Amino acid sequence: MPPSTDDAVVADIPLALVRDLYTGMYRIRQCEDQLNTAFARNLFPGYIHSYLGQEACAVGVCAALRQDDCIVSTHRGRGHYLAKGMALKPMMAEMFGKATGIGGGRGGEMHAADPARGILGGNGIVGGGIPYAAGAAYSAVLDGIDRVTVAFFGDGASNQGAFHETLNLAAAWKLPLLFVCENNMYAEMTPFKETVNETDIARRAVGYGIPGVVVDGNDVLAVLAAARTAVARARAGDGPTLLELKTYRTGGHFQGDPCKYRTREEEALWKSRDPLPRFRALALQRGAFDEAGLAALEVRLAAEITEAIDFSLASPDPDPASALDHVYAP
Ligand SMILES: Cc1ncc(C[n+]2csc(CCOP(=O)(O)OP(=O)(O)O)c2C)c(N)n1
Ligand SMILES: [Mg+2]
């Protein structure tokens, strides 16, 4: 594992930022936990690809962005949506396929988008979002705006041709782009180490002439620091960076996956590196919260998620008569 943030850096982080980072991660954790329960109770259709365990990646990267910066997400996108500021109730209702969802219930888990907040959408095609992100980055260059775009993707996606082609073009054109690979060690049921003869995806950056950085993806401050450096480089016109965030998908590939392809020992090891208890302890130690204040915040965040689920359940389904809306130009 790469080194975690050192004590001097920790001591310098403003307390308000510590509070925001913990709040962002806990909110995602609650969202994923409660959605898993709702899915197990058959309360909504489709799938759940849980973001549990990876919260520090989305929150750390998005904390380095402005509202007008853009992100492109994946099939495992809720953490990215929430961290970039999508409103909770419309996000949740989209998961439930309801008319009140951010996409009117048409996109569901993999296709929520909110252009006003720079969220250009998830993607059901592994690696499919990476070239879109380059397009968004190039549009900022053409418009003369110092907007940065982030492509989030997984270790599996880093073996797609689209990843390599986009890295090459983005490097050659110095696009204001961050390639953020969340290496959670698995692509569906396939371990990364069985498919790639190299331990670090970040080293692929060398072949394209851009920086490649390995980061402890379960250390939100390390993620934030690396993202800030990469964002500053992109905004200055110096081109893209590839960040590899080493993390772990603590749930299965999808909710209900029995995880027979990995050991309970490996899961226990990564549980000990869980980004939330780790940062919770740091936040208390820094005095960002007292224990009672933190517990109260957690209760409030959990209640907000429950309320969003209740809102979704009470919302109407999309009207069948509107099925062809947004398909053809008026
Ligand atoms: C082009 C394509 N191939 C295969 C799939 C099936 N599939 C869905 S998720 C997934 C694994 C992706 O792994 P990774 O990129 O590491 O993301 P993670 O699921 O770990 O977040 C695969 C193979 C797909 N959706 N698209
Ligand atoms: Mg993966």
- pLDDT, tens digit (0-9, with 9 covering 90-100), for 50-84: 999 999 999 999 999 999 999 999 999 999 999 99
Domain range for 307: 7-314
Give me ligand 2 centre to Cα 154, in Å: 5
Neighbour-count burial for 177-203, b at 16+ CB within 10 Å, e otherwise: bbbbbbbbbbbeeeebeeebeeeebbe
Confidence of residue 18 (pLDDT cuts 50, 70, 90): very high
| Mean of the per-residue pLDDT values of the chain | 96
322 lies in some domain: no
- pLDDT, tens digit (0-9, with 9 covering 90-100), for 197-224: 999 999 999 999 999 999 999 999 999 9
Ligand 1 atom closest to Cα of 155? 16
Give me ligand 1 centre to Cα 121, in Å: 16
E-assigned strand segments in 114-234 = 149-154, 177-183, 186-187, 190-191, 212-216
Ligand 1 atom closest to Cα of 128? 1
Pocket of ligand 1 (CB under 6 A): 75-76, 124-126, 153-157, 184, 186-188, 249, 253
2 lies in some domain: no
Mean pLDDT score, 256-281 = 95
326 lies in some domain: no
What is the CATH number for 92?
3.40.50.970
Alpha helices in 96-214, H assignment, sequence order: 129-143, 161-172, 192-195
- Least distant ligand from the CA of 76: 1
233 lies in some domain: yes
323 lies in some domain: no
1 lies in some domain: no
Note the pTM of the prediction, 2 decimals.
0.97
Tally of structural domains, the chain? 1
**Rounded to the nearest 10 degrees, what angle do helices 55-62 and 15-40 cross at?**
140
261 is catalytic: yes
Give me ligand 2 centre to Cα 57, in Å: 13
